[in-house]
Homo-oligomer: A and B are copies of this chain.
Amino acid sequence: MTRSISYADAGVSIDKANQAVAKIREFARSTFNERTLTEIGSFGGMFSGAFPQMADPILVASADGVGTKLKLAFETGVHSTVGADLVNHCVNDILVQGARPLFFLDYFATGKLEPEVTASVVEGMARACRENGCVLLGGETAEMPDFYAPGEYDLAGFIVGVVDKKNVIDGKQIVPGDVVLGLPSTGLQTNGYSLARKLFFEIGGYTPDSYLDELGTTVGEALLATHASFLPEIGPLLERTADTPVRSEGSFDPNGSQIPNALEDPNSASPEEPASADRSVRGPLIKGLAHITGGGFLENIPRILPEGVSVEIQRGSWPEPPIFGVMQRLGNVSDNEMFRTFNMGIGMVIMSSEEASGAILEAIPSAAKIGRVVAGDRSVTVDKA
């Protein structure tokens, strides 16, 4: 045989990969901070591991994917939001243990690299990283012929954050009588998309372009709603105990430029402020956090419950976004299955003492009391309103 075979003939273009990597570098660099000690292109990303303000720093790490929500990106051609879905999901997953994000890495795999698509995905990740005060420290772009259908890709993320040991949120202090607060999700977040797609597209016969009055938008737009990060709301409350004054104005700037990161001592803003007796209550402000992801309330809340307690959720105590009702009707899905698959409008659950809950509700106006902690066997029940 005389024809010479190259790597490109096998479906892999190192040059195209390099082209994508150049764009990725630019986006990643926009997230760098003073702790970042590396350029993308080194073998590994380097980040300062010195935490002099912390007595006992604990690194908290999590891996996640976007799941079949990616299919919506393929079907609509909108690739700029799934990166933010992934970053925000990861941020929430370590936030529930009290950690603030330090850095994030991604894995992007596709059959044939389209540099514009990759760039759009990474741009979304970089934007969300900046909004969360998190560095996009590196990642892997893999071209794998015959693994992915044309135009498709998979995307996974990996986050590392830090929390001082004394501020770890582990749920151990949750007792009967505590209350359960809920923060609104933006939609399905990143879970339940296999079922949602079946319900809308197979059973309902809709397309992503179908406009539904009940949703006030197209199905595609509703399903692509970006997974919310709860760091802006919860971050300012993280290290506070309920017996220190709660400053409801917080330290969060809605423009995203003032999100405290792990570098800063979150208590340094007002070290001299005297405790205001009438607003002081005992115990930690936030006793437990649960990110409502795959498995819904029923599987995620128990992860933070200690022995001897259960949670009763009162349905009707928060507004369920219409998308869940539409899906339930389309497939005649049982209530139990809905709550085991979807977040039902609540993206993050906070557990606190009854006394502390007022301060939290004041600091986070979008939160609602959605249930209570009772004696039990670490189970979750959902009662009709």
Q: Using CB atoms, name the residue of chain B closest to A337.
A: B6
Judge whether B59 and A195 touch: CB under 8 Å: no
Decide if A57 is an interface residue (CB 8 Å cutoff): yes
The complex places the Cα of A158 from the Cα of B160 at a distance, in Å, of 10
Decide if A294 is an interface residue (CB 8 Å cutoff): yes
A43, A54, A299: residue with the most chain B Cβ atoms closer than 10 Å = A43
The complex places the Cα of A357 from the Cα of B353 at a distance, in Å, of 65
Q: Which residues from chain B contact A312 at a C-beta distance below 8 Å?
A: none
Judge whether B45 and A146 touch: CB under 8 Å: no
Which size class do A's interface residues fall under?
A: 35 or more
Decide if A65 is an interface residue (CB 8 Å cutoff): yes
Question: Given the known A-B contacts A147-B154, A195-B5, A303-B43, are A61 and B10 also in contact in the complex, defined by CB atoms under 8 Å?
Answer: no
A337 contacts which of B4, B68, B70, B331 (Cβ < 8 Å)?
B4
A44 contacts which of B2, B7, B96, B195 (Cβ < 8 Å)?
B96
A50 contacts which of B37, B56, B109 (Cβ < 8 Å)?
B56
Binary CB contact string for chain A from 83 to 119 against chain B (1 if under 8 A, 0 otherwise):
0000000000110110100110111010000000000
Decide if A47 is an interface residue (CB 8 Å cutoff): yes
Judge whether A158 and B46 touch: CB under 8 Å: no
| Stretch from A136-144, A228-236, A318-326, A371-379 forming part of the interface with B | A136-144
Judge whether B109 and A65 touch: CB under 8 Å: yes
Query: Smallest CB–CB gap between A63 and chain B, Å?
Result: 4
Taken together, the copies of this chain in the complex come to 2
Binary CB contact string for chain A from 243 to 261 against chain B (1 if under 8 A, 0 otherwise):
0000000000000000000
Interface of A is mostly: mixed
Q: Which of A56-90 contact B (CB under 8 A)?
A: 56-65, 67-68, 70-71
A4 contacts which of B148, B194, B332 (Cβ < 8 Å)?
B332
Judge whether B56 and A194 touch: CB under 8 Å: no
A1, A194, A337: residue with the most chain B Cβ atoms closer than 10 Å = A194
Q: Please give the residue numbers on chain A whose beta carbons come within 8 Å of chain B beta carbons, in ascending order.
A: 1-7, 9-12, 14, 37, 41-51, 54, 56-65, 67-68, 70-71, 93-94, 96-97, 99, 102-103, 105-107, 109, 137-140, 142, 144-148, 152, 154, 156, 158-162, 168, 192, 194-195, 197-199, 203, 290-291, 294-295, 299, 303, 331-334, 337, 340-341
Beyond A14-B340, A43-B291, A44-B94, 16 additional contacts (C-beta under 8 Å) are A5-B198, A5-B199, A5-B331, A42-B97, A44-B161, A45-B61, A48-B58, A48-B59, A49-B51, A59-B102, A61-B160, A63-B138, A63-B140, A64-B140, A70-B147, A107-B107
Q: Can you list 17 A-B pairs, Cβ within 8 angstroms, ordered by A? A: A5-B195, A5-B337, A12-B194, A12-B195, A43-B96, A43-B290, A43-B291, A44-B94, A46-B58, A48-B57, A59-B102, A61-B160, A62-B138, A107-B107, A109-B154, A140-B156, A158-B158
